[in-house]
Amino acid sequence: MARVTSRRSASLRRSVIGAALFVLLAPTAVFATEEPVPRPALPVDDTVPTGEPEAAHAEIHVLVKTDVVATVEQLGGVSEEVVEDWYEVEVPPGVEAADYAEDLQDRAGVEAAEVDAILESQATPPFNSTDPLYTDTGSPMFQWHLHAANVVSAWQTTVGAGAIVAILDTGVNDGSDGFCHPFVAEYNAEADLGGTGAAFDADGHGSHVAGSVAQCSDNEVGGAGMAPEASIMPIKVFPAAGGALASDIARGIDWAVANGARVINMSVGCPVSTCSTGTSPMNEAIARASAAGVVMVSSSGNNPIDVYYPANHPEVLGVGATTRSGSVASYSARGIGLDLVAPGGDTSGSGLVWQDTSGGYDGKAGTSMASAHVSGAAALLVSRFPTAPPTRVRNALTCSAEDIGPEGWDGPSGFGRLDSGAAVEQLRLMTEAGTSNCVTQGGDNATYGSVQSTTGFWRLHKGPAQVAGFYYGNPGDIGFMGDWDCDGIDTPGLYRQSDGYAYLRNSNTQGVADVSFFFGNPGDVPLAGDFDGDGCDTLSLFRATEGRFYIINRLGSGDRGLGRAQHAYYFGNPGDAPFMGDWNGDGTDTPGLRRNSNGFVYLRHSNSQGVAEVEYFYGDPGDVVFTGDWDKDGDDTLGLYRPSTGIVYLRNSNSTGIADHSFGVGAGLHVVGGEF
Question: What's the mean per-residue pLDDT of the chain?
Answer: 83
8 Å CB contact between 546 and 570: yes
| Residue 315: how many other CB atoms lie within 10 Å | 19
Helix (H, G, I), strand (E, B) or coil at 661: strand
Average pLDDT rounded to a whole number, residues 548-564: 80
φ/ψ region of 547 (left if φ > 0, alpha if ψ in -120 to 50, else beta) reads left
Q: What pLDDT is attached to residue 440?
A: 61
Question: Which residues partner with 402 through β-bridges?
Answer: 417
Q: What pLDDT is attached to residue 153?
A: 78
Query: Full-prediction pTM beyond 0.75?
Result: no
Helix (H, G, I), strand (E, B) or coil at 263: strand
Q: What pLDDT is attached to residue 21?
A: 56
Helices within 299-344 (DSSP H only): none
Out of 61, 79, 116, 169, the active site residue is: 169
- Which residues have C-beta within 8 Å of that of residue 50, sequence separation ≥ 6? none
Average pLDDT rounded to a whole number, residues 44-70: 60
Half-sphere exposure of 514 toward its Cβ, with a 13 Å CA cutoff? 14
Examine the pLDDT at 215 and tell me if it is beyond 80: yes
Half-sphere exposure of 531 toward its Cβ, with a 13 Å CA cutoff? 23
Highest mean pLDDT among 276-280, 417-421, 646-650: 417-421
Out of 61, 205, 373, 661, the active site residue is: 205
Q: Which of 65-69, 444-448, 457-461, 557-561 has the lowest mean pLDDT?
A: 557-561
CA 115 to CA 112: how far, in whole Å? Answer: 11
When pLDDT is cut at 50, 70 and 90, the band that residue 108 belongs to is confident
- In the sheet with 340-343, reading across from the earlier edge strand, the strands are 193-194, 187-188, 231-236, 164-169, 263-266, 295-299, 316-322, 340-343
Helices within 499-553 (DSSP H only): none
When pLDDT is cut at 50, 70 and 90, the band that residue 2 belongs to is very low
Q: Render pLDDT for 276-311 as a digit per residue (tens, 0 to 9).
A: 778 889 999 999 999 999 999 999 999 999 999 999
Question: Which residues partner with 63 through β-bridges?
Answer: 88, 114
Q: Are strands 669-673 and 86-90 parallel, antiparallel or unpaired?
A: unpaired
Its sign, for the CA torsion 470, 472, 474, 479, is negative
267 is catalytic: no
Q: Render pLDDT for 600-637 as a digit per residue (tens, 0 to 9).
A: 999 999 999 999 999 999 888 889 999 999 988 899 99
CA 136 to CA 130: how far, in whole Å? Answer: 14
- Which residues have C-beta within 8 Å of that of residue 223, sequence separation ≥ 6? 132, 133, 134, 141, 143, 146, 177, 211, 215, 217, 354, 355, 356, 361
Q: Which of 65-79, 135-149, 538-552 has the lowest mean pLDDT?
A: 65-79
Class of residue 615 by CB neighbours under 10 A (exposed 0-12, middle 13-18, buried 19+): middle
- Selected residue with higher pLDDT from 12 and 518: 518
Helix (H, G, I), strand (E, B) or coil at 362: strand
Q: What pLDDT is attached to residue 57?
A: 79
Average pLDDT rounded to a whole number, residues 251-259: 97
DSSP string, 147-163: HHTTHHHHTTT---TT-
- In the sheet with 353-357, reading across from the earlier edge strand, the strands are 128-129, 360-364, 353-357
- Using H for helix, E for strand and C for coil, what is the string for 205-242? HHHHHHHHHHECCCCCCCCCCCCCCCEEEEEECCCCCC
8 Å CB contact between 104 and 113: yes
| Residue 196: how many other CB atoms lie within 10 Å | 9
| Residue 368: how many other CB atoms lie within 10 Å | 36
CA 328 to CA 658: how far, in whole Å? Answer: 30
Domains and CATH numbers, the chain: 20-120 (no CATH), 143-433 (3.40.50.200), 443-673 (2.120.10)
- DSSP assigned state of 259: T
Q: What pLDDT is attached to residue 573?
A: 86
Examine the pLDDT at 145 and tell me if it is beyond 70: yes
Examine the pLDDT at 473 and tell me if it is beyond 70: yes
Examine the pLDDT at 228 and tell me if it is beyond 50: yes
Q: Are strands 187-188 and 128-129 parallel, antiparallel or unpaired?
A: unpaired
Helix orientation angle between 367-384 and 205-214, rounded to the nearest 10 degrees: 40
When pLDDT is cut at 50, 70 and 90, the band that residue 127 belongs to is very low
Cis amide prior to 310 (ω within 30 degrees): yes
Closest CA to 172 of 145, 211, 146: 211
373 is catalytic: no
Q: Render pLDDT for 441-470 as a digit per residue (tens, 0 to 9).
A: 556 688 999 998 777 889 898 886 667 888
List phi, psi (to 5°) of 503.
-125, 120
Average pLDDT rounded to a whole number, residues 644-658: 87
Out of 368, 400, 413, 436, the active site residue is: 368
* Cα 509 to chain centroid, rounded: 34
Q: Which of 32-36, 366-370, 589-593 has the lowest mean pLDDT?
A: 32-36
Its sign, for the CA torsion 257, 260, 264, 268, is negative
DSSP string, 546-597: TTEEEE--S--BBTTBT-S-SEEEE-S-TTPEEEEE-SSSSS--EEEEEETT
169 is catalytic: yes
